[in-house]
Structure 1
Amino acid sequence: MKVPSDVKRFIRDLFNPKLMVIKALYFCLLAGVVLLWPQFTIHQQHLGLTTYQTGVVSAAMASVAIIVPILAGLVGDKLGDYKVWRDGKGTRLGVGGVVWKCHCVITLLTGVLACLFTIVPSARITTTPTNITTVTTYNVTSTTATTVASGTSVDPEALSVTFMVYLVVRVTYGALQTVSYMLFEAAVMAHSQNDGVDYGFQRAWGTLGVIISSYLSGQLVQATGGFSLLFYVSAGLQMVSAGLVLLLGLEFKLPAQRLTRDIITQILRAEVIMFFAAMLASGVFFGYLETFMYRYLFSLGASPVLIGLTVTVGAPFELVLTLLTSFLVRHLGHAPLIMLGIFAHSVRLVGFSLLEDPWWVLPLEVLESVANGVLATAAVMYCTALFTLQTLASFKGIHAVVYIGVGQLLGAMVGAEVREAVGDVITFRVLAGVALATSITYCCAFYTLVRCRSGSITTIIPADKPTSNTNSSKSVPSSQEKTGIDNPACIEHGS
């Protein structure tokens, strides 16, 4: 019986010792992040933050994400993996791993910041009702506050302190975590382009970490009745990741020499502009859902366990689809998968607007594997086909800025205003309509471009040698351009 080539390729990748570090890093980094992800908004509510303050926190993080990824990408491309110098004879030498040693420190600090969430003061106070009035105690100061159904209230003065402390910790944590993950993904993309490493196979191990950690997330909160253990486990995973980063290097990647000119030349191409416009729209939907989805489910009566299950249910489907992304790209192409992901956002948003029983969110979360999983994986693979090795980290940073930074900022801020005006249900339906229109527009524009170019799409081809700083451009037939990291345009000429 003949074994399919894709299965053989997967088996070789699975047992390749050089790729074990990448797989372990994906597992630890994403597990550490997703462990906290579904519980962040519930933790904010636990501290007493209002819905508006929740939106402000998300908007502040998105604002930082606009600046941080692009700076990290520019530094990564400019330094490469070497601090280049010359010895007494003029011989060019390099001290490897400068960027990745800094990466290790940043990842370690991310773990430390995760621990600081446990010392953010809560604005909630226990109330003691009497026949005359409601007396509340916060430290040693007696004040009068509004009693809520749960037997607790929020002290307005304490709330302002809680909000400011939480904002500082959350934004700093988000900035460091963004730099850490972005530099790591840029390294994997560089390996994909230079060595033909299958990005989807590596990313799948991160999805496996998501499956496990998302389930443990709700269980840990339910079992302990608090969030402290959750933050400590996340910190431990980040610290393990910091050690693994030291084993990751890019010996083939030298510093870029004409970075600004190369970025401007590549970003002005029509398919690149359409790609980033689609990712901006996707970021808006992602930003709104990340900010308000869990709070909405909680308002419908969802438990912490159900909140964790929202990620757990979709993750197995995302794992399978991530493994199949390279196959899907070869047969469908990058852009069609991104269009499909945006359309899945539309269906998912309509589903949220129809929810009455929060448990029905679980079938909707299967679509999340397409809306975020396939879309994000195909987008990263598209970057390896569109951009050169010398600019890959910079464009990964731009991608993060557009998708997570600007997109999430607009989703949080504009979504918060619309939500305050018309409520959750109407906001979900408005965003669903926008997602459907975006998917159709991208489809029409992309295939019009293909038709105008007689079925071929211009793809920038990396330099003849992986370590060269010279770039060139050629036109690649669309049938070849679909192949992503297997794109012949990304393989060394003359091989």
Structure 2
Amino acid sequence: MNMQKVNPHLIPIKGLYFLYYAGLSSFIPYKSIYQKQLGMSSGQNGFIQATMQLVSLFSPPIAGFITDKTKAYKVMMTVCMFFSIAFTIPFYFVPPIEREVLSTKILCCEEEVNSLLHCLPIDNASNVESCLNDVNAPFDVNFTHQPDCLSPNVTLNCKYSDSTDVYGSTFAILIALTMLMSFFLAPVTPLVDSSAMDTLGIENVKYFGIQRLWGAVGFGIVGLAVSYFTDVISPVEVYGLEAKNYILAVVSAGLFWGATIVLIITSIKITAPKAKAVLRGVGKLLIKPQVLAFIFVVLVSGFCTGVQYSYLFWYMTELNGFKQYILGLSLIVTCASEIPMFWFSGWICQKFGYVSVLALGLIAASIRFFTYTFITDAWQVLLVEGLHGISFALPNAAICSYAAVIAPKDATATLISISQTAYWGLGNMLGALLGGILYEAFGGVKMFRIVGAISVITAVLYEIIFGHLNLISYCYCCKDESKKEIEAEKRDSKTKIVKTPEEEQPLHEQENGVV
């Protein structure tokens, strides 16, 4: 039996995915709950996260235009990573919003006063009401002795928001840092994906998932480690109370992204999306209903991911038994579920078709969201996160591979960039923004149910309307007609990826040796 061997020319791509996503998992998953710790509401968090995705709509085309003019692909990638680090580290130093300190006597019939439902104010009643109305106001209660409903010897120490500072300096700093970090970070993902595709070649797109799974490995391992050690590290003081210390999160992001820069400089060939090709080559493709439907489904998938990334951890902090390490365990479960999906994504897409794979991803996301609404303890989320491989990894591999298959000549990187922008840019932005509005208006349970309904309806309609239109045969037919022209232009391109004789072998000769 022939064993698959690792192609040494693909090792830098695997390393690039590992380091880049390890840096992402160090801080990005915890950004929302860190902002909550600083005093942001769910609506404010949604606005901040939506701003992050809004910026990512514009920066990749700008980066593509600049690199088109300068041909300095590695320089652009290195600059983007460097400034991503430069604007991530300062998040640690953002001050919490100012809160007025309230100290008053209250009468409690029970010692369990986490919600203060069994307590009545004895003095400063209006201030106590202000405290209770601020959902983010931290408080502690000091009992001088066991309360018996007769002795008001209970002191409430509450820090509630000063209304003049809710959208003050803390909010402004978070917005500014988020925009700057996103501006430089957003172009990196499409550059990494397009470089992987160019290294593989159009005939080997089915191996893309095997490269991408190393990003899942890095994301899961490092995300769990950061979560665990954040629990271990000495806490910081916020509003006079103990809070999580996220110093390791921002430092880890800096270290892994720094290692990414070193790998880019020494070992990676970078291909930039071409701004002109967006108008020239892709314009004709985007008028086709099948392709428009594909972009729309990518957008809805990104919307679902935006909701999950922005509000799942937020939601978990409100469940019984919440511990920081549970967040890390959820990351390791999600990433473990990604690995087999990325590994077998090529076979699954060829077997069932891209339309069915994308529809399946939306259905899995819907099941996830509805299940979240029935759990009562934070650890139970771990039982659901195994669906992440089907709802995220499988459709993501399909999106990149499908974009490479249907791309017109000279526009592979550009169409990948468009699909990634629809997913991570506009889709994630809408998820963060509308998710925040829904969360603040109806709560987490109804928000997840609404998004789950949108997801499953989109999946069913997409499968019914486009699942039997033979889109895949159409795409491969188009690709076959121009395959020779595309390969010729790639050989003549100044950004040509030099391939070894082993890599130039036909696909059937590589199946036992290129992973």
TM-score when normalising by structure 2: 0.77
Change (3 A) 1:387 1:218: same
Which residue number corresponds to residue 220 of structure 2? 211
Which residue number corresponds to residue 432 of structure 1? 452
The answer to whether the Cα contact below 8 Å between 2:406 and 2:476 also exists between their aligned partners in 1 is no
Letter in 2 for 1:241: T
SS in 1 for 2:266: coil
The superposition leaves residues 74-98 of structure 1 with CA deviations (integer Å, 9 ceiling, x where unpaired) of: 555x45xx84xxxxxxxxxxxxxx1
Which residue number corresponds to residue 108 of structure 1? 82
Change (3 A) 1:167 1:158: same
1:409 and 2:429 matched: yes
The answer to whether the Cα contact below 8 Å between 1:257 and 1:469 also exists between their aligned partners in 2 is no
Letter in 1 for 2:39: G
- Worse overlay, 442-451 or 22-31: 442-451
SS in 2 for 1:390: coil
Whole-Å separation in 1 of the counterparts to 2:382 and 2:271: 44
Whole-Å separation in 2 of the counterparts to 1:406 and 1:235: 26
Change (3 A) 1:199 1:437: same
1:153 and 2:159 matched: yes
The answer to whether the Cα contact below 8 Å between 2:56 and 2:421 also exists between their aligned partners in 1 is yes
Which residue number corresponds to residue 57 of structure 2? 66
Which residue number corresponds to residue 390 of structure 1? 410
Letter in 1 for 2:78: C
Letter in 2 for 1:400: Q
Change (3 A) 1:470 1:35: closer
1:235 and 2:254 matched: yes
Structure whose alpha-carbon radius of gyration is higher: 2
Whole-Å separation in 2 of the counterparts to 1:66 and 1:390: 21
Output the aligned Cα RMSD.
3.1
The answer to whether the Cα contact below 8 Å between 1:28 and 1:241 also exists between their aligned partners in 2 is yes
Whole-Å separation in 2 of the counterparts to 1:195 and 1:330: 13
1:36 and 2:4 matched: no
Whole-Å separation in 2 of the counterparts to 1:313 and 1:266: 38
2:465 to 433, 438, 445: 445
1:185 to 193, 198, 217: 193
Identity of aligned residues (%): 21
Whole-Å separation in 1 of the counterparts to 2:414 and 2:47: 28
Structure 1, unpaired ranges of 5+ = 84-97, 137-144, 472-485, 489-495
Whole-Å separation in 1 of the counterparts to 2:273 and 2:303: 35
Whole-Å separation in 2 of the counterparts to 1:404 and 1:75: 21
SS in 1 for 2:159: strand
Which residue number corresponds to residue 303 of structure 2? 284
Which residue number corresponds to residue 19 of structure 1? 10
Change (3 A) 1:430 1:458: farther
Which residue number corresponds to residue 150 of structure 2? none
The answer to whether the Cα contact below 8 Å between 2:335 and 2:389 also exists between their aligned partners in 1 is yes
Which residue number corresponds to residue 367 of structure 1? 387
The answer to whether the Cα contact below 8 Å between 2:102 and 2:159 also exists between their aligned partners in 1 is no
Change (3 A) 1:409 1:487: farther
Letter in 2 for 1:261: R
TM-score when normalising by structure 1: 0.80
CA-CA distance at 1:449 after TM superposition: 2.0
The superposition leaves residues 386-445 of structure 1 with CA deviations (integer Å, 9 ceiling, x where unpaired) of: 114521222222112211222122222223333333322222222222211111111112
Whole-Å separation in 2 of the counterparts to 1:406 and 1:244: 30
Change (3 A) 1:205 1:52: same
Whole-Å separation in 2 of the counterparts to 1:161 and 1:179: 28
CA-CA distance at 1:237 after TM superposition: 0.7
Change (3 A) 1:22 1:300: same
